[in-house]
C-alpha cells in the first residue's frame, strides 16, 4: 500500500499527504477548514446541531453514466450494458489528467471497510482524494480509519481508489473501473456517486465482479427486517432504481392497525446488499455501508418520518435550499417553512428553479435512524426470506406478483423496467430496462451476470422466493392507485405468507398474483379501477411486454444464458 500511495503522490504532486485515522479530532479539524473556505456552511445549531450544507458546482450534480467506463481486457467482458475502454488506453487518458492535479492541495489517504469490520463478508478499500468533503462523507458512509487500516494490513488485499475533483470541468471528467486490477480512478467530479468511491464504484461495480469470482452477490438492494406479532423476524432484500422509494421502504413505519397488532420494521440497509450462501444453504446478507446517502426532495414526515428523524443532527446536506433561519429545505418537506436561498446560493425564485436540486442529497449515519437494526452489525449477516424487484411503471404492471421459481425470478429481475428519475443525467420519465436495478452499476457483462444469478440454483442452496412490485401504477386520470408508504407493509405481509406457505395466490402466466381477499386491505379505500389494475392481469399488454423482453435479451448475443431465453419463451407460450 505504501508503494502505491508514494506512486500516486509522485503523479499528482500534492503539497502534503494526510493519512486519515477517522478520529473525532481529525474530523473537527477538517470541518473547521471547510467552513473557513466555504466548502461547508454550518446550519442552524438549535434545529440541526453539527449539520452542514454543501453546494456543488451546478454542472456536477448527478452520476455521469456516459463518462463511466468499465475497463476489461476484452470488450465483451464489460458487455453492452457498460461503456468500455481498453485498460492501457484508460490508464493513459486519466493519468494524464491526474498529472500534477493536486499541486497546492492536500492528498488524503482513506482506509475503509465496506461492511462490519470483523465480518468475513466485508471487503476493504483505500481511497486517495484531494477533497475534504469526500473524507467527511466517507467517514459517515464506511467504517473508515485505523480499524480498517489494521484489517487491510492483515489481509494484504484492498480495492484501490484514486479521486481528484480536478477542475470540475465536464469535458475533463471520467470515472474508470478496472475490475481485474481492483482499481477505480475518478477525475473531475465532486458528486457523491462519482467521488465517494466506496459507494457505487466499489460496493457495486468492483464488488459485483469480485462477487462473481468468489461466489456471492453484490446488489443494489435495501435490506429490511419484518417482525410479526408472533415475534418471528423475516428479512427482505429489495432492488429498485434510484429515487424509486428504496429508502422509504427500508425505513417503513407500519400503518396504525399493524402497529397496534405488534408489527415492527427494522432497517439493515437502504441501498446496497452483499449476499452469500451460508452453511445452511440460505442466502445471508450484509449492508456494506455505514450511512445513508439519500435523495432529499420528497422526504417528509408523511413519506418517511424515520429518514426525517435521522436528519436532525450530524448530517451533511448537498444542494438543498435554506430557510431564513438557516434550516435545510427541499420540495416536499412539508414543514410549513419557506426557503430564501436556493441550492445555487441565489435568492429563491420558484419561477427560476426549485429550491433544492431534484437530486439533492443527505449523508447521515445509519445508527441515527429510529428503525436501525442491531443486526446491521452482525458479522454473519441476516438470512434473506424474499427478494423483491420493483420499478416505476405507470401502466401494465400490477401491484405485486410472485415468480414461480428461481429461474423465472431471475428473468423477472433481468426484464425489470422503470421510468427514469433525476438521479442520473438525461431525460426523466423515459421507460428503460434496468435489470435488478443494476444497469448503471454492474461491473461486467449482464449476460454473464444473469448466468451467475442462475448458478445459485444448484440443488443444495435454500433460495428465497422472488417477487416483483409496482407502487407507481396510475389510473386513467394520472393519479397513483396505491397509497404506498406504510401501506406497502400489506404487500410485504402477503410475501411472508407466501414464504411460509400460508397465503393464497392466483396463478397467471406472469406469476402468482394475490386475489383481492389475500391482502389485508382494512382501512384502505380502493375503487373499482384501482382493484382491477392493481390486482389484474392484462394478457395483450403482457404479450407485447414479453416480445420486448425477448428482443432485449437478444441484444446480449450468444452469451445470454439459454435458460433465460427458454424461460421467456415459456411465458410467451403460456400467454398465447
pLDDT for 515 beyond 90: no
Does one domain contain both 337 and 283?
no
pLDDT for 426 beyond 90: no
Does one domain contain both 181 and 280?
no
Q: pLDDT confidence of 422, banded at 50, 70, 90?
A: low
Task: Provide the domain count of the chain.
Answer: 3
- As annotated, the binding site for substrate includes 63, 191-193, 242, 359-361
Grid coordinates given for 567: 424461460
Does one domain contain both 273 and 200?
no
Does one domain contain both 41 and 190?
yes
Does one domain contain both 313 and 281?
no
Does one domain contain both 517 and 500?
yes
Task: Sheet with 328-329: list strands edge to edge.
Answer: 328-329, 321-323, 339-341
As beta bridge partners, residue 267 has 224, 372
Catalytically annotated residue among 71, 101, 244, 273: 244
- Of 214, 241, 270, which closes a domain? 214
Q: pLDDT confidence of 134, banded at 50, 70, 90?
A: very high
Structural domain that includes position 121: 2-214
Does one domain contain both 31 and 126?
yes
| 471-500 core/surface letters (b: 16 or more CB in 10 A; e: else) | bbbebeeeeebbbbbbbbbbbbbbbbbbbe
- Of 318, 343, 368, which closes a domain? 368
Does one domain contain both 20 and 128?
yes
Output the CA angle 294-126-214, nearest 5 degrees: 85
The pLDDT value recorded for residue 419 is 83
Does one domain contain both 356 and 298?
yes
The pLDDT value recorded for residue 423 is 60
Lowest mean pLDDT among 350-354, 423-427, 465-469, 530-534: 423-427
Grid coordinates given for 301: 414526515
Grid coordinates given for 338: 419557506
The pLDDT value recorded for residue 56 is 96
Does one domain contain both 135 and 232?
no
- The CATH number covering residue 381 comes to 3.90.228.20
As beta bridge partners, residue 109 has 19, 128
Residue 201, phi-psi category: left (phi > 0), alpha (psi -120 to 50), beta (remainder): alpha
The pLDDT value recorded for residue 192 is 93
Instruction: Report the half-sphere exposure of 150 (CA within 13 A, side-chain side).
Output: 8
- The CATH number covering residue 160 comes to 3.40.449.10
Instruction: Report the half-sphere exposure of 131 (CA within 13 A, side-chain side).
Output: 29
Q: State the average pLDDT over residues 315-321.
A: 98
CA atoms of 182 and 376, how far apart (whole Å): 26
417 vs 210, 396, 551, CA distance in Å? 26, 11, 14
Does one domain contain both 235 and 347?
no
- The CATH number covering residue 331 comes to 2.170.8.10
The pLDDT value recorded for residue 516 is 75
Q: State the average pLDDT over residues 497-501.
A: 98
pLDDT, tens digit (0-9, with 9 covering 90-100), for 46-100:
999 999 999 999 999 998 999 999 999 999 999 999 999 999 999 999 999 999 9
pLDDT for 420 beyond 80: no
* Cα dihedral sign, 138-142-148-153: negative
Q: 244 an active-site residue?
A: yes
Task: Provide the strand spans (E) within 391-472.
Answer: 400-402, 417-419, 431-433, 465-469
Does one domain contain both 364 and 378?
no
- As annotated, the binding site for Mn(2+) includes 200, 220, 271
- Of 353, 368, 383, which closes a domain? 368
DSSP string, 410-425: HHHHHT-EEE--TTBS
pLDDT for 428 beyond 80: no
Amino acid at each position: 500500500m505504501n508503494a502505491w500511495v508514494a506512486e500516486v503522490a509522485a503523479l499528482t504532486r500534492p503539497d502534503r499527504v494526510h493519512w486519515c485515522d477517522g478520529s473525532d479530532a481529525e474530523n473537527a479539524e477538517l470541518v473547521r477548514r471547510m467552513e473557513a473556505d466555504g466548502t461547508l456552511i454550518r446550519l442552524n445549531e438549535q434545529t440541526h446541531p453539527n449539520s452542514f450544507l454543501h453546494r456543488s458546482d451546478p454542472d456536477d450534480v448527478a452520476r455521469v453514466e456516459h463518462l463511466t467506463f468499465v475497463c476489461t481486457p476484452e470488450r465483451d467482458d464489460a458487455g453492452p450494458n457498460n461503456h468500455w475502454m481498453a485498460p492501457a488506453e484508460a490508464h493513459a487518458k486519466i493519468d494524464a489528467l491526474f498529472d500534477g492535479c493536486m499541486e497546492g492541495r492536500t492528498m488524503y489517504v482513506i482506509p475503509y471497510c465496506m461492511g462490519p469490520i470483523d465480518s468475513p463478508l466485508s471487503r476493504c478499500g483505500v481511497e486517495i482524494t484531494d477533497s475534504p468533503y469526500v473524507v467527511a462523507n466517507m467517514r459517515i458512509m464506511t467504517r473508515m480509519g485505523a480499524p480498517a487500516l489494521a484489517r487491510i494490513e492483515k489481509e494484504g488485499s484492498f480495492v484501490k481508489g484514486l479521486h481528484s475533483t480536478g477542475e470540475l470541468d465536464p469535458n475533463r471528467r471520467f470515472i474508470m473501473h478496472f475490475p481485474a486490477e481492483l482499481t477505480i480512478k475518478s477525475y473531475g467530479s465532486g458528486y457523491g456517486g462519482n467521488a465517494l468511491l466506496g459507494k457505487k464504484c466499489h460496493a457495486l461495480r468492483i464488488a459485483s465482479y469480485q462477487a462473481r469470482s468468489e461466489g456471492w452477490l453484490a446488489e443494489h438492494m435495501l435490506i429490511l427486517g419484518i417482525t410479526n406479532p408472533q415475534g418471528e423476524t423475516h428479512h427482505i432484500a429489495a432492488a429498485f432504481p434510484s429515487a424509486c422509494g428504496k429508502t422509504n421502504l427500508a425505513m417503513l413505519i407500519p400503518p396504525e392497525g399493524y402497529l397496534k397488532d405488534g408489527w415492527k420494521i427494522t432497517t439493515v440497509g437502504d441501498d446496497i446488499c452483499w449476499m452469500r450462501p451460508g452453511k445452511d444453504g440460505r442466502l445471508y446478507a450484509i449492508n456494506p455501508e455505514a450511512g445513508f446517502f439519500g435523495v432529499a426532495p420528497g422526504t417528509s414526515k408523511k413519506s418517511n418520518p424515520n429518514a426525517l428523524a435521522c436528519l436532525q443532527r450530524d448530517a451533511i446536506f448537498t444542494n438543498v435550499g435554506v430557510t431564513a433561519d438557516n434550516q435545510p429545505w427541499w420540495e416536499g418537506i412539508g414543514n410549513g417553512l419557506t426557503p430564501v436561498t436556493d441550492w445555487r446560493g441565489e435568492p429563491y425564485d420558484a419561477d427560476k428553479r426549485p429550491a433544492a436540486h431534484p437530486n439533492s442529497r443527505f449523508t447521515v449515519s445509519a445508527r441515527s435512524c429510529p428503525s436501525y437494526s442491531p443486526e446491521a452489525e452482525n458479522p454473519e449477516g441476516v438470512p434473506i426470506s424474499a427478494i423483491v424487484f420493483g420499478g416505476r411503471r405507470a401502466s401494465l404492471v400490477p401491484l405485486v406478483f410472485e415468480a414461480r421459481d428461481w429461474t423465472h425470478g431471475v428473468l423477472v429481475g433481468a426484464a425489470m423496467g422503470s421510468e427514469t428519475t433525476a438521479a442520473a443525467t438525461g431525460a426523466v420519465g423515459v421507460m428503460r430496462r434496468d435489470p435488478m436495478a443494476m444497469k448503471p452499476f454492474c461491473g461486467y457483462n449482464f449476460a454473464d451476470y444473469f448466468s451467475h444469478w442462475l448458478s445459485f440454483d444448484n440443488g443444495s442452496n435454500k433460495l428465497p422466493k422472488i417477487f416483483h412490485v409496482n407502487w407507481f401504477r396510475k389510473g386513467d386520470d394520472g393519479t397513483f392507485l396505491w397509497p404506498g408508504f406504510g401501506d406497502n407493509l400489506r404487500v410485504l405481509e402477503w410475501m411472508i405468507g407466501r414464504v411460509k406457505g400460508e397465503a393464497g395466490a392466483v396463478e397467471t402466466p406472469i406469476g402468482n398474483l394475490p386475489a383481492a381477499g389475500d391482502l389485508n386491505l382494512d382501512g384502505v379505500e380502493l375503487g373499482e379501477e384501482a382493484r382491477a389494475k392493481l390486482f389484474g392481469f392484462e394478457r395483450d399488454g403482457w404479450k407485447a411486454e414479453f416480445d420486448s423482453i425477448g428482443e432485449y435479451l437478444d441484444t446480449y448475443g450468444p452469451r445470454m444464458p439459454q435458460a433465460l431465453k427458454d424461460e421467456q419463451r415459456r411465458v410467451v407460450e403460456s400467454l398465447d
